[in-house]
Copies of this chain bind each other. A is one copy, B any other.
Amino acid sequence: MLSDIEIAQQTTLAPIETVAEKLEISKESVELYGKFKAKITLPEDKKAPLGKLILVTSINPTPAGEGKTTVSIGLADGLKKIHKNAVLALREPSLGPVMGLKGGATGGGYSQVLPMEEINLHFTGDIHAITTANNALSALIDNHIHQGNELGIDPQQIIWKRSLDLNDRALRHTVIGLGNKAQGVPREEGFDISVASEIMAVVCLARDLSDLKSRLAKIVIGYTYESQPVTVHDLQVEGALALLLKEAMKPNLVQTMEQTPAFIHGGPFANIAHGCNSVVATKAALRLGEYAVTEAGFGADLGAEKFLDIKVPNLEKAPDVVVVVATVRALKMHGGLASDQLENINLSALEKGFANLKKHVQNMQKYQLPVVVAINEFATDQTSELSLLQKLCQKIGVKAIRSSAWAEGGMGAKDLAQTVVDTINQQKADYKRLYQDYLPLEDKIKKVACEIYGAREVSFETNARKQLKEFEKNGWDQLPICIAKTQYSLSDNANLLGVPDDFVLTVREIVPKMGAGFLVVLTGNILTMPGLPKYPAALNMDIDVNGNASGLF
């Protein structure tokens, strides 16, 4: 069997100008980055009609694999097969996981976005620009303190962290500014992976350069000795940061293996951030495509909830349908099977695990959106399992369509595409937010925890309870919330698969992300700087004398 990168390297791509031309993007709006990538600047056109928005999400991920990106890509290619003009809007991969465990993050098999080496490595430099802006801000903060500290920033109350787009556990907890008086002021510091930087969230939610600058200005970097918030605007560097992010704000156009256009732009974490590609990219896809296919990170409890409660108000357009991806293998794990038993037929485990899918489908229906289930097929799936899963879905009133896009590309997702189109035509989406921003902060947290995760109640640790009051005092409580929780369970305990009930969600800390425009609510211990495994993917990566890559899965 060919590896993803081998399949990718066998594929003939269209020059990206041709892809742009077919979308009727004017030549002036296209900036090429090599032959197969481009940055696009669409002129403002308020009257442009928008396409239909398809949001792809999934059950809680398991080690068995769900393939949400693969299904998204396959679905867009499938729409093309039934003669619809579809445009993808996806996240750009972080280098950390690419070098670490995961290899590429550009789909798989015959449903990939290309050129996969370049998208997975530096792409058009967006994340590097974000890393640079993030760390320039850090350097400016420490320099401000070193040069007299006019603002009275308390080195022990700085919440802005440095970042690198790598998996590097040794940078989680550090001390900087050591040496002597000339080497800065000593303080504790930590590094996050760049995609966890608030600047990533800001770039992904900003409508345009002016919105970008005003969001950057609002970022709270820490507190004074009197515990008053200090913002980027206090440091007067929002202009410099916006300048560093100028190119990163432009969405990137690439293509699938079947030459379907794909915007790949922005990639914030789906726990401490909102987990979906940029507003500008999704808007571009909506303006250029009859159907825009987009994806939300992790499972529907994290990614889709945040898409619907955080991104949609900024996008000013809600999904017309939600596609929930599930696999027979993963549902069997949710039903209690161990990962080495997934090859065997086990209908009762499947039926038990179905509860996880059902909960996510019902959650999406709370937003008054039509839902379609996509079954991402694996070679080991048994017909009896596939038809049981379809029957179970039918019982709860949703269609479950098999997709073999991984093995067959768009042809394998034709049925799924047709069902999605029919659903959009037949069922009216009547998007309703889960909560209004003016609800008390505590109530907003309870609403998501109880209604989406299924928690019995929410408990606030002492510090978090104190913060509820402080945030109210600062006038920060009117923002939407972004709960950081494990992706592996509906609860805050990664080991509870299926549909945990009778659990209490514990809130540890609340972090203001005033630039992004949401409050991060931390439950459990969320790693914002991953580590490398014993044998990192990097050990297998290589390049030959002609510049051909290998080892990128």
Separation of A547 and B184 alpha carbons in the complex (Å)? 34
Say if the beta carbon of A240 comes within 8 Å of chain B: yes
* A541 CB contacts on chain B under 8 angstroms: 239-240, 243
Cβ < 8 Å to B, chain A residues 498-550: 531-534, 536, 538-547, 549
Task: Give 1 or 0 for each of A113-150: 1 = CB within 8 Å of chain B CB.
Answer: 00001100110110011011001101110110011100
Say if the beta carbon of A375 comes within 8 Å of chain B: no
* A171 CB contacts on chain B under 8 angstroms: 176
Asked if residues B183 and A169 are in contact (CB atoms below 8 Å), the reply is: yes
Say if the beta carbon of A306 comes within 8 Å of chain B: no
Asked if residues B174 and A175 are in contact (CB atoms below 8 Å), the reply is: yes
| Known contacts A209-B547, A541-B239, A543-B246: A532-B143 contact under CB 8 Å | yes
Asked if residues B170 and A176 are in contact (CB atoms below 8 Å), the reply is: yes
* A544 CB contacts on chain B under 8 angstroms: 209
Say if the beta carbon of A33 comes within 8 Å of chain B: yes
Separation of A184 and B39 alpha carbons in the complex (Å)? 39
* A437 CB contacts on chain B under 8 angstroms: none
Tell me how many residues of A have a C-beta within 8 Å of chain B: 80
Separation of A551 and B238 alpha carbons in the complex (Å)? 13
Binds B, one of A18-26, A160-168, A289-297, A455-463: A160-168
Say if the beta carbon of A199 comes within 8 Å of chain B: no
* A531 CB contacts on chain B under 8 angstroms: 143, 146, 182, 184
Say if the beta carbon of A179 comes within 8 Å of chain B: yes
Asked if residues B243 and A121 are in contact (CB atoms below 8 Å), the reply is: yes
Best-buried of A34, A208, A540 by chain B (most CB within 10 Å): A34
Binding site for B on A (CB under 8 A): 31-35, 39, 95, 99, 117-118, 121-122, 124-125, 128-129, 131-132, 135-136, 138-140, 142-143, 146-148, 164-179, 182-185, 189, 208-210, 213, 236-237, 239-240, 242-244, 246-247, 531-534, 536, 538-547, 549, 551-552
- List 16 A-B residue pairs with CB atoms under 8 Å apart, sorted by A's residue number: A31-B34, A33-B34, A95-B132, A99-B139, A99-B240, A121-B244, A139-B166, A140-B538, A143-B168, A147-B532, A169-B182, A172-B184, A173-B178, A173-B179, A174-B175, A239-B540
